[in-house]
Amino acid sequence: MTDKSAQMFEIDTRIAKIRQEIIDLTNWSSAVSGQASDDALAQQIEDRETQLTALQDMREALAEVSE
C-alpha cells in the first residue's frame, strides 16, 4: 500500500468512526432527558461534526494531490 493509500485508508477509517459516533450520540440524545444532558450531548455532536468536516477536508486535499 502506498503512503497516500495508507493515509486515505486512515482518514476513511476515522471518518467512518466519527460518523458512527454521531449516530450513536444522536440516538442516545433521543433516549436521555434533561436540559443538562441535552446540552452536553449537543456539544459532543457538534465537536464530532467539526472533526468530521476537518477529516473530509483533509481527504479532499489528499485526493487533489493524488490527481
Alpha carbon 55 to its chain's center: 7
12-52 pLDDT, tens per residue?
999 999 999 999 999 888 887 777 788 889 999 999 999 99
Confidence at residue 32, expressed as pLDDT on a 0 to 100 scale: 78
Confidence at residue 8, expressed as pLDDT on a 0 to 100 scale: 95
Confidence at residue 16, expressed as pLDDT on a 0 to 100 scale: 98
CB neighbourhood size of 46 (10 A): 12
7 CB burial (10 A radius; 0-12, 13-18, 19+)? middle
The more confident residue out of 30 and 62 is: 62
Q: 62 and 4 in contact (C-beta within 8 Å)?
A: yes
Residue type, 27: N
Contacting residues for 55 by C-beta, under 8 A, at least 6 apart: 11, 14, 15, 18
